[in-house]
């Protein structure tokens, strides 16, 4: 068996997911969510729920979810939550918000006739 060097797989994938979502926002979608208090308040709410649930699921004293230790950095806080879970949660929730914002920005405003509809009238 060969010795693994570099970042563990789950850590690497988490870092890549965070970087990809941030790059998606900064260089393509440009919704501006990172500059809004609304977004950061939403993230605080997400993490406020993630901490007790994830803490209960991953507690080392009686885990429900068991990670392969070789796939993680080994840093856990609070309540034994792998730090990778926070990056994954950030990427997943932020991507959902970005896609939702993008979808909303492409829809005609309520009561407005879109360009294709105006051509038919």
| pLDDT tens profile 86-107 | 999 999 999 999 999 999 888 7
CA R_g for the chain: 20
pTM for the model = 0.79
CA dist 113 → 31, 98, 107, 116, 119 (Å)? 23, 25, 10, 8, 10
Q: For residue 91, which of 16, 8, 12 has the smallest C-alpha distance?
A: 16
| pLDDT tens profile 25-58 | 999 999 999 999 999 999 999 999 999 999 999 9
């Amino acid at each position: 068996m060969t010795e693994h060097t570099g970042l563990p797989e789950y850590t690497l994938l988490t870092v890549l997911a965070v970087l990809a979502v941030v790059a998606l926002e900064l260089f393509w979608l440009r919704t501006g969510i990172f500059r809004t208090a609304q977004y950061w308040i939403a993230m605080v709410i997400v993490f406020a729920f993630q901490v007790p649930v994830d803490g209960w699921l991953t507690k080392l004293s009686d885990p429900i979810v068991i990670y392969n230790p070789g796939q993680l950095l080994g840093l856990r806080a609070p309540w034994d939550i792998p730090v990778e879970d926070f990056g994954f949660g950030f990427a997943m929730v932020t991507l959902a918000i970005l896609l939702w914002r993008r979808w909303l920005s492409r829809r005609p405003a309520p009561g407005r006739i879109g360009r294709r509809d105006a051509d038919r009238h």
